[in-house]
Structure 1
Amino acid sequence: MHLEAIERRSNLSREEFIESYLKPKKPVIFTDLVKDWPAREKWTFDWLKENHGNLEVPLIDKHYHDPDKYFQIAKKMKFGDYLDLIQAGPVDLRIFLFDIFKKIPELAEDIRYPTIMDGFIKSYKFMFFGGQDSVTSLHYDMDCSNVFLTQFQTKKKVILFGPDQSKKLYKHPYTVMSHFDPENPDFDRFPAAKNLVGQEGVFGHGETVFIPSLWWHHIRYVDGGFSLALRANDSVFTTLKGGMFLARHSIVDRGMTKVLGKKWKEWKESKASENAMEFL
C-alpha cells in the first residue's frame, strides 16, 4: 500500500482549482478557504457550550453499521455535556450527519459558501463531532457530491482512495462501505489491499480538505473536535447518480439487512473478496 501526501495550497484561484483539482478529481487541502468565515474565530468549545449547550443531540457508536443495530442512535445527550466529554479524551460516541442548522439556524450566519466552484447545495450541510481517535470508517458518500470538509479547533487525519481502487478496498456490493482499515491494515484478510494507492494528510483549525466525488475516505480525530461538511455538484449527472445510489442503499441494502441480517453481511463480504481476486 502506497500513500502520498495530499497537496496543501494557499491562495488557490477558482480557475486553477477547477482545472487542476475539480476536473481531474484530485484531492487538495486548502489552508485558507474559510479565512473570512466568522465561524473560524467564533466557534470554540466554550462558545458552543455557553450558547447552545442545552440542545439535545443524537450520538452514534462503533456499532452504527452492525446488521443488528443498523443506523441506530446509541444515546442522546445535552450538547454541552457531550462537548465536555470529547474534550476530556477518547470516547466512542460521535455526532454524525447531524444538521445542527435546523436546530440552531443562526449558525448559518457564521459561514460563507465558497466561490471556488458552482453547485453548492445550501440545504445539505452537516457537522461532525468526535473524541480523540474516533474513526469514520472507510466509505464514499452515496450522494456522489464533492465534499469540502472544514476542521475547527483541533486536527483530523484523512486517508483517501480514488474510485478506481474500489475492488482492492473490498467494496461491499450495494453499499458505499469497506471494512478495510488503512491505518491498521490486515493484509492476511485483505491481500489485494497491498496494491492500494492513495493519499493522506492531517488538517487542522480553519483548513479544508477537498474530497472529490466518489473518493473513498477514512477519517480519524487526532484530537476531540468538530468539522463542517459542505457539498457541491459539478453536473446534473452527479446528482442523478447520487439519487440512484441512495435508492439502491435504501431499498436493496437496508431491506436485505432487515430480512437476512448477518447472512446478508456475510454474502457481501464473500462477494467483495471474489471481486478483489483479479488484483492478486
Structure 2
Amino acid sequence: MSNFNLVDKVENITKEEFKEKYLSTNTPVVFKDLAKNWKATTKWTFDFFKENYGDWEIPMYDDSYHNPGNGYMKPVSYKKFSDYLDIIETKPTSLRFHNFQIMKRAPELANDYETPTIMDGFFKFALMFFGGKGSALNLHYDIDCSHVFLTHFQTQKKVYLYHPDQSQLLYKLPFTNHSHVNVLHPDLEKYPAFKYAKGYEATIEHGETLFIPRLWWHYVYYSEGGYSLALRANNSIKTKAQGLTNLIRLFTVDNGMNYIAGKKWKEYKDNKAEQNAIKAMNEVKLEL
C-alpha cells in the first residue's frame, strides 16, 4: 500500500490563515467547525430523509460503474429513497448514490446549510453522496478544476488523497479523470508503480468538512453507511476555463470511444496508463 500522511484537522481558523497555509499551497485540510451553525448537522438524519423524501426513485451505482459497454458510468437499477436509506443505515452494501443535485429536487434544503466564507468563488449548486458500509467511490479527481468542501453527516467516512503530481503512479487512464487502482487493496503485481505513490488519509466525522484542493485525486471509502454534502468553489477565471475544456474534451472523447470501441478502448486506456506508470516508477527509483 502507498504511504499515507494524516490530513490536518483545524478549528477557529481565519480566512487569511486558511489561504496562507492550505489554499495557496493546494493542501487538503479537515475543518472541525466549518458547518457548526448549519441546521443540517442536527436536522439531516436518516429518518428525516425517509419521512420527507422517501418516495423518490433514485439511481443506484455499484462497482461496475467503469465497466466498458452500454452500462459505462450508468446506474445499475433504481430504488425508492427510503428503501435505500434503510439498507445503508443497517448493513453493508456496494450500492451508492452520487452526484445528486438534491437542491434541484428539494430547494428548501438549501436553507439548512450556509455558503462558507472561508474563501471566495463558491458556486450556488450542491451535490450529495450516499454510500453503504464498505462501498467506495473510485480513485478520481474532479475534472471541473474546482476546490471541493465535503461535509459528512451522522457517521464517518475516510478519504484517501493524492497530489496531482502523483497521477502517473496512480495509473491515470488517458482521456478520463479516473484510475482502476483500489487504494485499500491494491494489486501490486498489476500496479507495481502504485507502491511509490505518496498519499494522505482523512477521516471525516459527523459535521466535519474536508477541503479537497482542485485536481487532487481522492478515493472515498464508507467505513460506515452515511452521506455527505459537497460544495464547490473556484475563484480563478483561468481554472474555470480549464475545467470547462476538461469537461467537454474528456466526456466527449471517452464516452464516444467507449460507445464505438467498448473493450478495445478500455484496453488502450489500460495499456497507456501502464506505460506511463512504469516510466514514472523508473524516474522515482532513480531519485531514491
- Range of TM-score over shorter length: over 0.9
Residue number in structure 2 paired with 1:184? 185
The 5 A counterparts of 1:29-68 are: 29-68=30-69
2:73 and 2:181 map into 1 onto residues whose CA distance is 19
Q: Deviations over 1:177-217 (max 9, x none)?
A: 01111211222111111211110021110001000000000
Match of 2:285 in 1: none
Equivalent residue number for residue 211 of structure 2: 210
Name the TM-score, length of structure 2 as normaliser.
0.95
Give the drift of 1:234. 2.4
Q: Distance in 2 between matches of 1:167 and 1:234?
A: 27
Q: Which residue number corresponds to residue 273 of structure 2?
A: 272
CA distance in 2 between counterparts of 1:271 and 1:102 reads 39
Q: Who is 1:120 aligned against?
A: 122
Task: Select between 241-250 and 130-139 the one with higher mean Cα deviation.
Answer: 241-250
The match for 1:85 is: 87
1:136 counterpart SS class: strand
Cα deviation code 1:146-173 (max 9, x no counterpart):
0000000000011000000001001000
Distance 2:210 2:170 in 1: 21
SS at structure 1 position matched to 2:123: strand
Q: Runs of 4 or more off by more than 2 Å in structure 1?
A: none
CA deviation vs aligned residue, 1:82-104 (integer Å, no higher than 9, x gap): 11011121112111101111111
Residues in 2 aligned to 1:234 and 1:265: alpha-carbon distance in whole angstroms: 35
Q: CA RMSD in A?
A: 0.9
Q: Partner residue of 1:254?
A: 255
- Specify the alignment match of 2:111 in structure 1: 109
Secondary structure (helix, strand or coil) at the match of 2:211 reads strand
| Structure 2 unaligned blocks of 5 or more | 283-288
- Quote the residue 2:194 is aligned against: 193
Task: Supply the distance in 2 between the matched residues of 1:64 and 1:170 (Cα, whole angstroms).
Answer: 18
* 2-structure distance, mates of 1:168, 1:71: 24
Report how many residues are paired: 279
Q: Normalising to structure 1: TM-score of the pair?
A: 0.98
Equivalent in 73, 95, 98 of residue 96 of structure 1: 98
CA–CA separation in structure 2 for the residues paired with 1:250 and 1:28:
29
| Aligned-partner Cα distance in 2 for 1:127–1:197 | 28
Instruction: Report the AA paired with residue 156 of structure 2.
Output: K
Distance 1:94 1:38 in 2: 25
- Aligned partner of 2:235 in structure 1 is 234
